[in-house]
Structure 1
């Protein structure tokens, strides 16, 4: 049974945010006490997230982030009842954190591997136990912030960020992470298939925005996303074959996950990896998708929108340099489909979040712009199924991205 099917069942007494958060706080404090027995602990603010539970914490004055994952699923799925009632979740979690394939253990191993590779720079792991991952806090502006503050440098910022993954994308890096260490749960296509598969998918879409949107807005969003999901299902099998050359991709490459503690002219630090085996189009598509969502959430105006959309175009052109015409067309099609899938994945996660779950600031902003985003996704997906070549669709998609910034 899919998690979506379970989460929409009316007969399950779902966990509450209060009991989930209180339990996670206890586990974080217990893990910190075990890790640093004599230390002075100061638990700080919760970092709003729809995936894992994250707290700021000071250990003897040292600022850290503590991340806790319950059963490896998102907080949205958990609070919607995907893993059963709270007593069942608690009992199962005790066994889950001991498993070698637990999500937090894999993420810690990935960060350590990236430190060994040397690039990209990542936040160091300082401890991992009881299902809690402790990492160094990283300061400095994010790529998302720089794109909004310096939009005329967008092309260089996007290209420079992607170039930091060169070592990771090298074929030799594949051997350093076995299949068991990958975080396939963060695959764009896999997430889309899981969310919108079978009978549970339409039911899931039909309930979107119930706790978050005004009635009229919700009706338009649901109808548009129904059409988008249908089109993407058709496109998925047609234009997303298994790539001939699979490498390690970062997987969760988002502008807010790239920080510049030493300034924009120095190599950035990446956080929250989701390494998996795939084609490099996956990293490019997620970076583009989340950059456009940053535009939509920030609404910086037409001038910034124009510069950032141009920067995305320059970045994509650089990725296609040296490819044949046929290969360029295939790459563009893949990136467009993955871009749409990723945007649908995150927008529907925010829209399906229960009202008691605090959203990150960007999530709240995107829920408020759900109508504009749904229209954009509807138009691009319609163009993909009806227009001639991917080049024309790509140019139109960049125009829509520019418009959503206003």
Structure 2
């Protein structure tokens, strides 16, 4: 595993925040994002589109995009037009694909910024062509097709009509159709066979309409487990942020984020005392440390109690969350450790240093690592840690 996050010295990082409202930060290792991109390029041996949607998985879209491009990604993927425009305004000139369109999407601004769009219906395509005509440019598109996700792709019954409309617009000079692509809903090679065949059908139909396009289908998990999914491009998101596609067979990806805060106050309690709302937890004689992060900041209420309590690192020692997590505060049982107000607490970091990992958090609260990252709230400032 690249030793990139572990090179961040927690003691050297400022505890300031963007709003001044919380002594909590997430230190983001751009070196880790770069290293993970390079590693996944090695694994896939295919061009990489770095997916930096949702604010770069909650860690900063612009910094994540630049780090991924430095690691060898050649294109960027986002969900919305606004996310693509943000990257352009930051001076990033790599190809950008935005794949969610809705009635109020700023299509014209996206076309003007050179953001590639992904229409899934003839009316959506019409809006893009109209914007291109008004601007006097050729808009780039990649058409998403439905192959089993039953979410946002073009339904099979509409493929021919959409491809024909795209071919007509392409002949007029207002459109360049770059690709036909899909999302894979499965988690194993056996589940990828049918969708890949459907994608081939779509590409053949596009060809029959006169379009010459590239194909892509794989996100991080399919790309890691099935070379058939690599096609002309892989779209990698979670893996670039340190999420192992197959934890049972790790690829050596580096953790990207260290989330830390400080103890607000401590108190010694006697046996039989309750902690938090609902009096769901009764203590033994112990010391409690209060930390200024709660469920509004991304600490799930499922993180403590019920025999699944998450542990955090206080003074180099793992200590469990205790009692019901509040909106703005949580309580840590530090036992007999000499913890005082101001001591540093690591909520998420490098497991090689004994710190809580994304995998631990997601397991404790019954979700996936991506949700843990994107759930970290706006009161927690993101800073570049490496």
TM category, shorter: under 0.3
More helix by percentage: 1
TM-score, normalised to structure 1, is 0.25
More strand by percentage: 2
